Chain A
């Protein structure tokens, strides 16, 4: 193990490390702690210039109540869910199909198609902006949840296919051969042999896509406008213009907007990290 395990060091080194750890964490998360502090302060504190001091009163409930009951926030949160969950299902489904085809079969063009998915995933998405917006408008899906979902599914399929294909490649191939000898139809091999083994990959991708899509801002701005279909990342800017300079409400709103992926991360941590660090170890 590197660096040398602290347990093998001197007692004083251990104590220093133990003391330094929480300190470093507080420093690292300082911007977030500040927002958390902001969100429980009364508005008057900001008018009086008491930005960083102790709150003059504890206003957690009234601030968050304002966010939930007197703004469009619940609407935006709902939109975010309606965008994120279908995208998650769609992208995972499409990419397990593609990953199976590319991971199991040898055929001409296999690598070419695989590399198309990878390359498409790397392009700066500004180059897609004008044509995709145009396509969405011509399908009558501008400013609709479906329009966003379709694009997200297509784009995320690139990354997910890379992930799935590599995962399927690592499965024991004799399993598939054995099934073929038994005369099992190919689609049944997919459904009954490969898919059950893919559960960890499916879970990892699902949480990753959830986070990516929930946090998307660019496409939300390009393909939607107004509270009808906009997700919370785009909605927060409207929310902020509604409560201009009301830092306590803006920070409460930001925390609410950030919470779902955070919750997802802490609940599914193992899968999340497995997904993110795919390929970091050979």
Chain B
């Protein structure tokens, strides 16, 4: 390294440029990427592989892991001469319920967005107050709803009791209704999120097209279906992505509201996985990892679809 002159000269006049200088544009992105990629690999990408590996073992998390091959999966899915794990079966079907019902957040969010897409005094405050539930942690949402559902004294029972409807044991105490009660609680913040996506989307709807359609006599539902919703496609895509991810990640609400009960009827895969690996019943890491892998494969279908759509967009750009 040469000693730099006391008076800085312009770079262009330096006769010999160093190796770094010559390759600067090729090197810089990698220098910028080292740290973020290293972090992400250590904590996200490598652990996914490790989970796959662990799922072929029997392991209590402390001692030696023993290789058991496909045993965990056989027991979980009832392959070979085994019966399917009943808890897994319940969790799986609950996951499907979550996936399907959670999607209701999208039309509900659109509905509220349409309702609020006006310009009256104070509408901005209304919009942010409607969005409010999304900002609150799911733990608090869970607590709030479990009080709402309290047997006998809960507001929900008072209202349904008024209509002569009786759910024995309360919404969360009854194995037939508990999961739906939790999903309803989850829909509350999720709808708020979809609403804000659609409000932003509606803001950008091409008003000339709307006026033109209006002149052509399009109104109400037909206008919504043929003119507005097609223009809201990007918002709908994001709403779909976040809702699917939210549905498959559901853990906090279940853990807070029922802790998997009554009689394990509200378990979902993510909760069951946690229970197997880290609960007081023992640390069955291998079995837990196998559940997580199954959940991962369910998610993978969606991930591939999301990435494919985004890639289509990328091809169109620059």
Q: Which residues of A does B touch, CB under 8 Å?
A: 1-3, 5-7, 17-18, 21, 24-25, 28-32, 34-35, 38, 49, 51-52, 94-95, 97-98, 100-102, 104-105, 107, 110-111, 113, 115-120, 122-135, 150-151, 153-155, 157-158, 161, 169, 183, 185-187, 190, 211, 214-215, 217-218, 221-222, 233, 236-237, 240, 247, 250-251, 254-255, 257-258, 261-262, 264-266, 269, 273, 276-277, 279-282
**Contact assessment for A127 and B36 in the assembled complex, using a CB-CB cutoff below 8 Å:** no
Minimum CB–CB distance from B174 to chain A (whole Å) comes to 20
Q: Residue of A at shortest CB range from B48?
A: A127
Q: Which of B44, B223, B256, B278 contacts A128 (CB 8 A)?
A: B44
**Bound: A222/B204 CA distance, A:** 42
**Bound: A131/B55 CA distance, A:** 11
Minimum CB–CB distance from B141 to chain A (whole Å) comes to 8
Best-buried of A25, A254, A281 by chain B (most CB within 10 Å): A281
Tell me if A's interface is mostly helix, strand, loop or mixed.
helix
Given contacts A97-B36, A98-B36, are A127 and B188 in contact (CB under 8 A)? no
**Contact assessment for B155 and A30 in the assembled complex, using a CB-CB cutoff below 8 Å:** yes
**Contact assessment for B249 and A116 in the assembled complex, using a CB-CB cutoff below 8 Å:** no
Q: Which of B44, B188, B256, B285 contacts A158 (CB 8 A)?
A: B44
**Contact assessment for A281 and B302 in the assembled complex, using a CB-CB cutoff below 8 Å:** no
**Contact assessment for A97 and B32 in the assembled complex, using a CB-CB cutoff below 8 Å:** yes
Tell me if B's interface is mostly helix, strand, loop or mixed.
helix
Q: A110-B29, A125-B249, A135-B47 are in contact. List 6 more A-B contacts (CB 8 A).
A: A6-B120, A30-B155, A127-B289, A237-B139, A255-B140, A280-B198
**Contact assessment for A265 and B249 in the assembled complex, using a CB-CB cutoff below 8 Å:** no
Best-buried of A123, A190, A266 by chain B (most CB within 10 Å): A123
**Bound: A125/B48 CA distance, A:** 9
Q: 13 A-B contacts, Cβ less than 8 Å apart?
A: A2-B228, A31-B145, A97-B35, A119-B303, A127-B296, A131-B50, A157-B39, A217-B255, A255-B140, A262-B132, A262-B135, A277-B196, A280-B234
Q: Residue of A at shortest CB range from B286?
A: A130
B119 within 8 A of A: yes
Minimum CB–CB distance from A76 to chain B (whole Å) comes to 12
**Contact assessment for B306 and A122 in the assembled complex, using a CB-CB cutoff below 8 Å:** yes
Best-buried of B10, B12, B51, B310 by chain A (most CB within 10 Å): B51
Interface residues on chain B, number (Cβ under 8 Å): 109
**Bound: A262/B306 CA distance, A:** 30
Q: Residue of B at shortest CB range from A160?
A: B36
B92 within 8 A of A: no
Q: Which residues on the B side are within 8 Å of A102 (C-beta)?
A: 29, 33
**Contact assessment for A128 and B48 in the assembled complex, using a CB-CB cutoff below 8 Å:** yes
Q: Which residues on the B side are within 8 Å of A132 (C-beta)?
A: 43, 47
**Contact assessment for A211 and B135 in the assembled complex, using a CB-CB cutoff below 8 Å:** yes
Given contacts A97-B32, A183-B10, A183-B11, are A29 and B277 in contact (CB under 8 A)? no
**Bound: A276/B135 CA distance, A:** 11
**Bound: A25/B292 CA distance, A:** 39
Minimum CB–CB distance from B318 to chain A (whole Å) comes to 7
Minimum CB–CB distance from A268 to chain B (whole Å) comes to 11
**Contact assessment for B118 and A17 in the assembled complex, using a CB-CB cutoff below 8 Å:** yes
Q: Which residues on the A side are within 8 Å of B130 (C-beta)?
A: 25, 28
Q: Which residues on the B side are within 8 Å of A255 (C-beta)?
A: 140
Q: Which residues on the A side are within 8 Å of B147 (C-beta)?
A: 34-35, 38, 247, 251
**Contact assessment for A126 and B270 in the assembled complex, using a CB-CB cutoff below 8 Å:** yes
Minimum CB–CB distance from B11 to chain A (whole Å) comes to 5
**Contact assessment for B295 and A115 in the assembled complex, using a CB-CB cutoff below 8 Å:** no
Q: Which of B43, B196, B202 contacts A151 (CB 8 A)?
A: B43
Q: Which residues on the B side are within 8 Å of A18 (C-beta)?
A: 120
Q: Which residues on the B side are within 8 Å of A98 (C-beta)?
A: 32-33, 36-37
Given contacts A35-B144, A120-B45, are A186 and B24 in contact (CB under 8 A)? yes
- 3 closest A-B pairs by CB: A154-B43, A215-B137, A131-B47
**Bound: A218/B246 CA distance, A:** 13
Q: Which residues on the B side are within 8 Å of A251 (C-beta)?
A: 143, 147
Interface residues of B in 292-317 (CB under 8 A from A): 292-293, 295-296, 299, 302-303, 306-307, 310-311, 314, 317
**Bound: A49/B154 CA distance, A:** 10
